[in-house]
Amino acid sequence: MRTPLIAGNWKMHKTLAEASELVKGIREGVGGISGVEVLVCPPYQHLFPIAEAVKGSAVKLGAQNAHFELEGAFTGEISVPMLVDAGCTHVILGHSERRQYFAEDGPLLAKKVRAAVNGGLTAVYCVGETLEERESGRTAAVVERHMTEAIGKDVPADRLVIAYEPVWAIGTGKTATPDQAQEVHALIRGLLASKYDQATAESIRILYGGSVKPGNAETLLAQPDIDGALVGGACLAAGDFVAIIQAAETTVAMPS
């Protein structure tokens, strides 16, 4: 059985004092939880202090982006070795906001994914369609394109997590129904099987990311191909984030 992963993408939120308070609440809240991996992804400047704050706990540290070069004249960027040095184990790549606002495309993301996994990080690679693409029946085509652009057999499966984030459900309050989410997760699982093999595809975790909240987490996480969540707004309050983690723990205990 795949271990659920609940990841919090803090985006551009929290001063250091606020971030410290948030991670303290998360650490305290997950103290008795088992069978679930927890990941927090704060802004870059908080990585070192948050790494210290989670040391010795079950909470892992991730970053929200990375450059594909090891070093160089890339003002404002951050490299994989820098993230590893800060204590990161994961990095989010291909988030819809990076695609939309910073024009990140398939060839660029392919280089980023390989830089991350070759540098010792687990890549949390995001795929997903806009509302217009869903309404025009192109969900499968878009997801397949995103997968084909950046994921291949040269990407170690044990360094890969896929996050399905329907763009129309991010920050809008809309959420894919459990059936809608499961349908796309099953599609992704099939695409992974075609790139690797069925056994490998079954080992790779696929997260759902699209307005996950304490009230809908359990029904989403109970779906057979949903292996966790990439949480946005709800991860900014320790109580909400911990409640989602608890929902994941509940699904682990469910009979298969």
Instruction: Give the active site residue among 104, 129, 133, 165.
Output: 165
3-state SS class at 131: helix
Instruction: Give the active site residue among 95, 97, 218, 249.
Output: 95
Angle at 147 between CA 245 and CA 84, to 5 degrees: 55
Q: What DSSP state is assigned to residue 67?
A: -
pTM: 0.96
d(CA 41, CA 38): 10
Q: How many CB atoms lie within 10 A of CB 53?
A: 21
105: CB partners within 8 A, 6+ apart: 99, 149
Domain encompassing residue 12:
5-253
Residue type, 252: V
pLDDT given for residue 170 in this prediction: 75
Please say if 165 is a catalytic residue. Answer: yes
Radius of gyration of the chain (CA): 17
pLDDT given for residue 120 in this prediction: 98
Q: Residue 61's beta-bridge partner residues?
A: 40
Please say if 202 is a catalytic residue. Answer: no
Residue located via tokens 């759902």:
208
Angle at 82 between CA 242 and CA 14, to 5 degrees: 40
Residue located via tokens 């699982």:
189
CATH of the domain at 24: 3.20.20.70
pLDDT given for residue 255 in this prediction: 58
From first to last of its 256 residues, the chain has per-residue pLDDT tens of 799 999 999 999 999 999 999 999 999 999 989 999 999 999 999 999 999 999 999 999 999 999 999 999 999 999 999 999 999 999 999 999 999 999 999 999 999 999 999 999 999 999 999 988 988 999 999 999 999 999 999 999 999 999 999 988 877 777 789 999 999 999 999 999 999 999 999 999 999 998 899 999 999 999 999 999 999 999 999 999 999 999 999 997 665 5
**Token output for 120:** 């010792």
CB 109 within 8 Å of CB 160: no
Our count of domains for the chain comes to 1
pLDDT given for residue 256 in this prediction: 55
